[in-house]
Amino acid sequence: MTPATDHELSPVLRKRDAPLLRVENLSVAFHAPNGPVRAIEGVSFEVPAGKVLGIVGESGSGKSVTALSLLRLIPSEIAEISSGSVWFGGRDLTKLPERELRRVRGREIAMIFQEPMTSLNPIASVGTQLREPMQLHLGIKATEASRRAEELLDLVGIPQPRKRMMQYPHELSGGMRQRVMIAMALSCEPKLLIADEPTTALDVTTQAQILDLLRSLQNRLGLSIILITHDLGVVAQFADNVQVMYAGRAIEQAPVSEIFRQPAHPYTQGLLKIVADLEAECERLSSIEGTVPAPYELPPGCAFAPRCSLSDTACTGSPPPLSPISPGRRCACVRPAGFPQIRASA
């Protein structure tokens, strides 16, 4: 829904349907020696309360930048938010002073990362790290924090919590470290969890366990989750809604049930065809010709046009905006497959 429509709803309706997080036109640029380089542009999406949004893309798609920018975690000398807003709890996170943003981080919005070994402090024990957010945000004393920490470890399925509290990250396996990270993230009972490729570095069986854990936690705690991943299979099994990103833009948004049945954007179609080919058994895999353009070499118009079999002059003017193609679905293409053509704005 565009912001304009939002304001027209009655206050009661707005409150009930209001998404937990709403990102509007977020653009982030990197500081490069030759001038700013666009990392993401015009990204808009919503996360309804209690649902899982999967953000999917390949390298260079900007999915991690998006996730980190929600909490302004990228240092300002590397990149900055050039425009857009992130609405959470009635406030725009991009405009909050640092002090107040810190109260949001870890407390209302928590994040887990891909590499648990580098995300955990190697010289602090598990217990110390678990207690820290609770002591900082909730002002709980150490003994009480320890008790809660043990409960959390139990919640995330770590056996012998008391023993684990004394251990150091390098003494734990990859899957366990990830569980510890999840426990830390949940310690202050956040409303939203951002998971940036949480299982990419794990074995496939461990990955399945972690995803199951996240799913069960989501059900029990009513947690909303943004899951960043490159794995379409993970998204299919885990997410409620999907956003596909390409070269720094969101190019398709849809509920999971619909997008895999009927992908609209040619890029999504291409990706799904490859995955489908891998899972079926065919002679030759279909592939998407060409490669993702580098951020400083983006073509005018649609970034996917050079690789798209359907592209024509209409695609090279300006990048197609993310437009609704059916209730709950949006697509950034003038010719979404199976949907009426969108007249490109002049």
Partner 1 sequence: MTTHPLIIVEGLSKVYSSGATGSVRAVDNISFDMVRGETLALVGESGCGKSTTGRLLMRLIEPSEGTVQFDGIDFMSLSRRELKRERRRLQLVFQDPYSAFNPRMTAESIIAEPMLLAGASASDRRRRVVELLPLVGLAAHHASRYPHQFSGGQRQRIGIARALALRPEFIVCDEPVSALDVSVQAQVINLLVDLQQKFGLTYLFISHDLRVVRHIADRVAVMHLGRIVELADKKTLFADPQHPYTRLLLSAVPQIRPTVQTTPLRAVSGEIGTPASESGCRFVGRCPHAVDVCHSVKPQLRQFASGHQVACHLVATAETTK
Residues that bind partner 1 (CB under 8 A): 58-59, 157, 159, 173-176, 203-209, 211-212, 230-234, 236-238, 260, 270-272, 274-282, 284-288, 291-292
Among 4, 31, 10, smallest CA distance to 295 is for 31
Task: Kindly tell me which of 146 and 199 has the beta carbon lying closer to partner 1.
Answer: 199
Q: How far is the CB of 56 from partner 1 (least distance, A)?
A: 10
Q: How far apart are alpha carbons 260 and 211 in whole angstroms?
A: 20
Burial (Cβ within 10 Å: 0-12, 13-18, ≥19) of residue 59: exposed
Task: Kindly tell me which of 20 and 264 has the beta carbon lying closer to partner 1.
Answer: 264
Q: How far apart are alpha carbons 281 and 174 in whole angstroms?
A: 32
Among 224, 170, 231, 165, smallest CA distance to 204 is for 231
Q: How far is the CB of 180 from partner 1 (least distance, A)?
A: 14
Helix (H) or strand (E) holding 269, with range, is: helix 266-279
Q: Residue 190, by phi and psi: left (phi above 0), alpha (psi -120 to 50) or beta?
A: beta
Task: Kindly tell me which of 226 and 234 has the beta carbon lying closer to partner 1.
Answer: 234
Which residues are registered as beta bridge partners of 56? 229, 244
Name the 3-class secondary structure at 210: helix
Name the 3-class secondary structure at 237: helix
Q: How far apart are alpha carbons 174 and 180 in whole angstroms?
A: 10
Task: Kindly tell me which of 72 and 249 has the beta carbon lying closer to partner 1.
Answer: 249
Q: How far is the CB of 66 from partner 1 (least distance, A)?
A: 17
Q: How far is the CB of 96 from partner 1 (least distance, A)?
A: 35
Q: How far is the CB of 301 from partner 1 (least distance, A)?
A: 20
Q: How far is the CB of 48 from partner 1 (least distance, A)?
A: 23
Task: Kindly tell me which of 88 and 238 has the beta carbon lying closer to partner 1.
Answer: 238
Q: How far is the CB of 263 from partner 1 (least distance, A)?
A: 11
Task: Kindly tell me which of 153 and 176 has the beta carbon lying closer to partner 1.
Answer: 176
Residue 40: partners with Cβ closer than 8 Å, 6 or more residues away:
26, 27, 28, 62, 65, 66, 69, 245, 248, 249
Q: How far is the CB of 193 from partner 1 (least distance, A)?
A: 19
Task: Kindly tell me which of 100 and 212 has the beta carbon lying closer to partner 1.
Answer: 212
Strands (E), the chain: 21-32, 35-47, 52-57, 79-88, 91-92, 109-112, 192-196, 224-229, 241-246, 249-255, 323-326, 329-331
CB 232 within 8 A of CB 56: yes
Task: Kindly tell me which of 56 and 334 has the beta carbon lying closer to partner 1.
Answer: 56
